[in-house]
Chains A and B, each alone.
Chain A
Amino acid sequence: MCLAVPARIIELEGDRAVVDAMGNRWKAKTTLLPDAKLGDVVLVHAGFAIALVDEEEAKKTWELFAEIENFEKTSNKVSG
């Protein structure tokens, strides 16, 4: 339940943001991270940015997600 995803703030108006992770975009709020700026990579949990993320770290997580997605696609093909 504490799952959180690093994503980049690509739009920001007040505390309303649009974030992007590997092309997936969704709305999130920055109420809990008042210093967040456009372009920052933040950790998003349950619709809220909760922490600033080091850019290199975010890349590693995105690569891992891509790897899992690829693996699941391949294993589905094998099993299905």
Chain B
Amino acid sequence: MLDRIAKAQHTIDEACRKLDRQITVMEVCGTHTVAIFRSGIRSTLPERLKLLSGPGCPVCVTDQGYIDTVLELADRDDCIIATYGDMIRVPGSDGSLETRASNGNVKVVLSSEDALQLARENPGKIIVFIAVGFETTTPASAVAVKEAAAEGIANFCILSGHKLVLPAMRALLDGMNDRIDGFLCPGHVSAIIGWGAFAEIVNEYRRPCVVAGFEPVQIIEGLAEICRQLAAGKPELASVYKAVVTENGNAAAQKIVAECFEPVDGYWRGLGRIEKSTLALREQYGRLDAFRRFGLEDKPGKDNRGCRCGEVLCGLIEPIQCPLFGTRCTVDKPVGPCMVSSEGTCAAWFKYGQRK
């Protein structure tokens, strides 16, 4: 293991020496962000290699408008909100799901299947599943939608806030933050979409895209591969997570997602409206769509006062540049989602210190 790390570090050092400028690499996955901080990788990298955390935490990129819509539904007497635990503490304009939990109509689930089970057990209530997450998580929602449709479960619907990673990467390179030299691509999103999916970023934007797993050695090898490509002046598509990720990904998962959802324009925190970046239920599953069922609109919201999560998500500022960081906004009393989520960049900086 140590020889692999030493080899990767040597490649990184060589590339930094050769390029003689700052190299900026963005990781687009909250799980990578946490792994990088927890392992202390940042402190082992040369000064010239700068790591940025991108829009890779689904809870964090979810727009305030969506959060407020969730809270609106949580205030209804006829609904039970079924949500992954990550969303519970995210503050909207008026409180969070946590502050609504005393009503007994907010339930934390570990899987979309659990949400569907709630619908079977509570025929007098409408179960609204808070369907957030990237490509990794969307197939689970699609399975629940199909099952609900097949079983004719009428009191189940989902509020889809599912997001696609590639349109966000494009939005960054199209102007939000074009300082990025290369991407460390998300391992488990790639388990679904395949490492080949990032070809468009490599071909159109000439940026290295390297898929990595989550163990420190893989992350360092991923960074080394990006640095090697930059030094050689030849951006390529690569994966150092061969044990799990294939070129084409999970065909069954892609199929069920395509059957249930279609890409529509959607709002992201920090990145604004991005074309065809959010997944909405197709017309044929309209009865299972909370937006249609309750006549709701996917509209942009207003971030909490002073919160700069949007800029953190685009890699434009580091958390410590936000005046609320560590003072008014802490892990115990968060103002923005990047401090709430266990995978948020601000939470990682707060918990693991600011090593570089």
**The residue from B31, B86, B132, B139 contacting A48, defined by CB atoms under 8 A apart:** B139
**The residue from B84, B113, B243, B253 contacting A56, defined by CB atoms under 8 A apart:** B243
How many residues from A make CB contacts under 8 Å with B? 24
Q: Are A50 and B143 in contact (CB under 8 A)?
A: no
Q: Are A51 and B244 in contact (CB under 8 A)?
A: yes
14 example contacts (A-B, Cβ-Cβ < 8 A) are as follows: A1-B30, A1-B31, A1-B132, A1-B137, A1-B341, A3-B31, A29-B143, A46-B137, A50-B139, A50-B188, A50-B192, A54-B244, A57-B213, A60-B215
Identify the A interface with B (CB < 8 A): 1-4, 29, 31-34, 43, 45-48, 50-54, 56-57, 60-61, 64
Q: Are B252 and A34 in contact (CB under 8 A)?
A: yes
CB nearest to A45 among chain B residues? B136
Q: Are A29 and B253 in contact (CB under 8 A)?
A: no
Interface centre among A1, A4, A46 (most CB of B within 10 A): A1
What separation, in Å, do the CA atoms of A79 and B188 have in the docked complex?
A: 34
Instruction: Specify which chain A residues have a CB less than 8 angstroms from the CB of B58 in the assembled complex.
Output: 1-2
CB nearest to A57 among chain B residues? B243
CB nearest to B136 among chain A residues? A2
Q: How large is the interface on B (under 10, 10 to 19, 20 to 34, 35 or more residues)?
A: 35 or more
What separation, in Å, do the CA atoms of A53 and B187 have in the docked complex?
A: 13
Instruction: Specify which chain A residues have a CB less than 8 angstroms from the CB of B192 in the assembled complex.
Output: 50-51
**Contact residues of B between 73 and 117, Cβ < 8 Å to A:** 84, 86, 110-114
What separation, in Å, do the CA atoms of A15 and B208 have in the docked complex?
A: 38
What separation, in Å, do the CA atoms of A2 and B143 have in the docked complex?
A: 17
Identify the B interface with A (CB < 8 A): 29-31, 57-59, 84, 86, 110-114, 132-134, 136-137, 139-140, 143, 186-189, 191-192, 213, 215, 242-245, 250, 252-253, 256, 341, 343
A29 to chain B, nearest CB (A): 7
Q: Are B215 and A4 in contact (CB under 8 A)?
A: no
**The residue from A33, A43, A47 contacting B140, defined by CB atoms under 8 A apart:** A47
Q: Are A1 and B114 in contact (CB under 8 A)?
A: no
Instruction: Specify which chain B residues have a CB less than 8 angstroms from the CB of A43 in the assembled complex.
Output: 188, 191, 244
What separation, in Å, do the CA atoms of A57 and B132 have in the docked complex?
A: 28
CB nearest to B255 among chain A residues? A32
| 6 additional A-B residue pairs with CB within 8 Å, beyond A2-B134, A31-B256, A48-B111 | A1-B137, A45-B136, A46-B112, A51-B192, A57-B243, A57-B244
